[in-house]
Amino acid sequence: MEFKDLVQQRRSAHNFEAGFKVDENTWNDLLEYVRYTPSGYNAQPWQFQLLQTEADITALHKICLNQDIIKTSGNVVVLIGDTDFGKNESDRILAEWQAYRNLTPEKAAGLKSSLEKERETWKKREMVIRNASLAAMTFLYAAEDLGLAACPMMGVRQLDLKKYLDLADNQLPIIVIALGKSGGSEGTRLPRKSVEEINRSVDNLK
Ligand SMILES: Cc1cc2nc3c(=O)[nH]c(=O)nc-3n(C[C@H](O)[C@H](O)[C@H](O)COP(=O)(O)O)c2cc1C
């Protein structure tokens, strides 16, 4: 399928086939797409957790404000970002840049100091959300390409989710994705803003 068609066809699914569970091969295929998502410093500060058991689904249903798609999809994905990604992974990141790019000693020192710099909490959160949101979109397109149905969700009790997954301080749930097989039509798509509306200015276009 043409990528443009895939983009236009993708929907946030609310209608799932009952009883479908994502298998290990499909899960790995999904993550194979995500691996190519761009990220600042090429840090890739994300992990995806798939939850499928009855007990997990029941708990997540409550954590996700009783939204039915948690139950009907049968598979729940939590994208977890690392708010300390520069610091935690500076050795790996620096070593990769040095192995694959000709960094001058000044450039390498600059990269190291940027990776290891102390940052305020809001800044660290903003950086990881900005990065991991791109991985979420790759995941949604991957699901579409593999014939799956998915819905990104922000109706989530963040602190309860962090506690349930036993996440460390630096592990931030970025988004929850209900995942499954489509159970049929999603109805008419909600309207989209026009190109003119999302184009801030055409003044300086040649
Ligand atoms: C960050 C984000 C959070 C969302 N949260 C929810 C949610 O909690 N529950 C839900 O049913 N849909 C949620 N949606 C889906 C949106 O309602 C949907 O993307 C939007 O209406 C456009 O529809 P479409 O994705 O089918 O084109 C969310 C989408 C995004 C991108």
Tell me the CATH number at 34. Answer: 3.40.109.10
User: Is residue 75 a contact partner of residue 182, using CB atoms and an 8 Å limit?
Assistant: no
Task: Enter the tokens of residue 185.
Answer: 């039509």
**122 inside domain:** no
User: Is residue 143 a contact partner of residue 137, using CB atoms and an 8 Å limit?
Assistant: no
**129 inside domain:** no
**183 inside domain:** yes
Q: Which of 12, 133, 138, 139 for mutating ligand 1's site (highest number of atoms within 8 Å of CB)?
A: 12
User: Ligand 1, atom 13: nearest CA belongs to which residue?
Assistant: 153
pTM assigned to the model: 0.96
Per-residue model confidence as pLDDT tens for the chain (206 residues): 999 999 999 999 999 999 999 999 999 999 999 999 999 999 999 999 999 999 999 999 999 999 999 999 999 999 999 999 989 999 999 999 999 999 999 999 999 999 999 999 999 999 999 999 999 999 999 999 999 999 999 999 999 999 999 999 999 999 999 999 999 999 999 999 999 999 998 676 66
**74 inside domain:** yes
Range of the domain at 148: 3-39+46-83+134-198
**171 inside domain:** yes
**7 inside domain:** yes
Instruction: Establish whether residue 151 lines the binding site of ligand 1, counting it when its CB lies within 6 angstroms of any ligand atom.
Output: yes
**111 inside domain:** no
> E strands within 13-164?
46-51, 75-82, 149-153
- Tally of structural domains, the chain: 1
**110 inside domain:** no
- Compute, in angstroms, the gap from residue 146 CA to the centroid of ligand 1: 20
Instruction: Establish whether residue 192 lines the binding site of ligand 1, counting it when its CB lies within 6 angstroms of any ligand atom.
Output: no
How far is 206 from 202, CA to CA, in rounded Å?
9
- Compute, in angstroms, the gap from residue 14 CA to the centroid of ligand 1: 10
User: Is residue 22 a contact partner of residue 51, using CB atoms and an 8 Å limit?
Assistant: no
Tell me whether residue 1 is exposed, middle or buried, using C-beta atoms within 10 angstroms of its C-beta: 0 to 12, 13 to 18, 19 or more.
exposed
